[in-house]
Amino acid sequence: MPRPAPSFSDGRPPRGRSGWRLVRGVWKLLVAVKDALVLIALLLFFALLFAALNARPGTKAIGEGALLLDLDGSIVEQPAEVDTLATLSGQSVAKQYRLRDVLRAIDAARTDARVKAVVLDLDRFGGGYPAALGEVADALVRVRQSGKPVLAYATAYTDGSYRLAAAASEVWVNPMGGTLFTGPGGTQLYYKGLIDRLGVNTHVYRVGRYKSFVEPYTRADQSPDARAASQALYGALLEQWREGVTRARPKAQVAQFLSQPQQAVLATNGDIAQANLRAGLVDRLGDRTSFGQRVAKLAGMEAGKPIGSFRTIGYDRWVAANPMSTTGDAIGVLTVAGDIVDGEAGPGTAAGDTIAKAMLDGLATKNLKAVVVRVDSPGGSALASERIRLAVLEAKKRGLPIVVSMGGLAASGGYWVSTAGDTIFAEPATITGSIGIFGIIPTFENTLAKIGVTTDGVKSTPLTGQPDVFGGTTPVMDAILQAGIENGYRQFIGRVADARRMTPQRVDEIGQGRVWDGGTARQIGLVDRFGSLADAVAEAAKRAKLDPARVQTVYLEKAPGWAARLVESLGSGNDEDGASPSGDVFAHAAADRRLLVARAIGDVARLTRGGSVQARCLECGAMGPGTANAADSRLLDLLIARLGF
């Protein structure tokens, strides 16, 4: 008779010692990992909290000194939310300065006796759209006209940074640097040859002879229509830049450096900085130490600091110490900034659902008397643009005045949104228009055939499996999609015609995807008046029968989360890797090449992702803070890391 197996009190069968040791070892390891993660999380939290409390602007009294605008990043309408993980992992994050904060800081400095001078450090300035730079330059001129000195320094100025520097009472440049002007425009990448070589078919559906956004995927060069439109736009913007610089520095020989820069440089045996000085573009040559000593004579020097230091008032503390007014009747400002996309997104991206919710929530809770729609977007999804427009119209249904304020650009989908306004403000350098839409679907049947892969199957209707990215689209599908695009264009034309009191035929003439500068846009009826955001708010107040001096602006936008605020406070110092590099002309050229490569990689990613019907502007990207966005730069960084470059 077999002996019964031993048992435990809980009925479990016995296990070998090695098995239990393994289980206990795994369990201890999991507990240790969990405890370590909790400890790291707690340490990180308290470190961030400590840093935020110590870096929080405005905690100390502001004394006398020079307001230092160390613009180590770009000026934008709405900064994107800081990527917490990217910052904590040590990745470079380009800094962005909110336009309205920069303007408020400069205007407050003009009348505050504690500010002895305004200092611009433009060595790592990331740029901005022409209209935004014009507003900042005008604010600096107001400071200079009040009698306060404004001093600018850079190793080498770009067109954008010099637009600001020209407003200064003293412009310094490093004697080993110097500046050359390039003007708007430049190289655009075209992928037709690569696409053909890979066997990719790009099915393009569009309306608008000037709607050039699709050309990089369908051509190897720029079309004559697109070239003519770009020449007109860039020419107008260059002339406005020249006029702005000449107004600020009447004696500067700007025209010579634009038309024949080689003559000026060769006359000084290649010394660009000396050529700048001779032409009156700069006032002084000197390194940072010499510049600092000059500022110290105006603002004072703190004891115990090295030579070249001066008493400073930090930008973040100054902005915090000069908040916007919170008294008076509320004028809502709805910001539509960045690419217009479907769904939800954080600041810096104009997500249709997010912005519509902000508008509707503001109407429900803010007791608004009028609404200003601030647009700074190259466009994007037509569906999201309509979503935003309909939300704005809810305010109009309630009898609220609607004023549109165009910032650096309001093109394509940005102009679609603008049609909701009773009146439209813009700057002469605002980029607008681009009334046209398109859609792109890439298919890979020829690509697959190159490696011996084909497709087949049963189709129960003409649209079964369409659009088929592996087998290609059919004539039926192509006809339907093109008809849908044409219908969308008619809707766009109709909205503009109703808003601008034009005939659809007239809108079609000035539409066709063509991009205009703000001055021309006003002449052809797309814009009503020139003016800033402040002017638009004042107009909205008047339309609501309010005193513009007794209203407050309430921004209808989602506040950043606590984690983003903590990380932002951590990164409030200068980050050389996250901003445009300082250096001479050659250094700036190297940075431009990197941005061009990043943009190429981003374009390929966008082509493969496809997307919805788009109302987007191609030319707009060449004149903004950079030719590649942050996502494109991250793609390039990832590719470089993977390839081991």
Contact at 8 Å (CB) between 386 and 416? yes
Q: Is 396 a catalytic residue?
A: no
Determine whether 325 is an active site residue.
Answer: no
On whether the CB atoms of residues 101 and 319 are closer than 8 A, the answer is yes
What is the Cα gyration radius of the chain? Answer: 29
The structure tokens 């009294």 sit at: 61
Can you name the residues that pair with 66 across neighbouring β-strands? 117, 312
- The residue type of 197 is R
**Who's near 177: CB < 8 A, 6+ residues apart?**
154, 155, 156, 272, 273, 583, 584, 585
CB-neighbour burial class of residue 530 (10 A; exposed 0-12, middle 13-18, buried 19+): middle
The count of C-alpha atoms lying within 13 angstroms of the C-alpha of 479, restricted to the half-sphere facing its C-beta, is: 5
283 forms beta bridges with: none
Looking at 116, 148, 211, 369, which residue is catalytic?
A: 211
Distance CA 409, CA 431 (A): 4
Say how far apart CA 21 and CA 39 lie, in whole Å. 27
Spatial CB neighbours of 9, under 8 Å, sequence gap ≥ 6: none
- What gap in Å lies between CA 114 and CA 119, rounded to an integer? 14
Integer Cα distance of 503 and 139 in angstroms = 39
Q: How large is the greatest C-alpha to C-alpha distance in the chain, in angstroms?
A: 117
Question: CA–CA separation, 231 vs 227, rounded Å?
Answer: 6
Residue ranges of alpha helices (H) inside 56-151 are 84-88, 99-111, 130-145
> Which among 161, 169, 412, 569 is annotated as catalytic?
412
* Count of other CB atoms within 10 angstroms of residue 561: 13
Q: Write out the catalytic residue numbers.
A: 211, 412
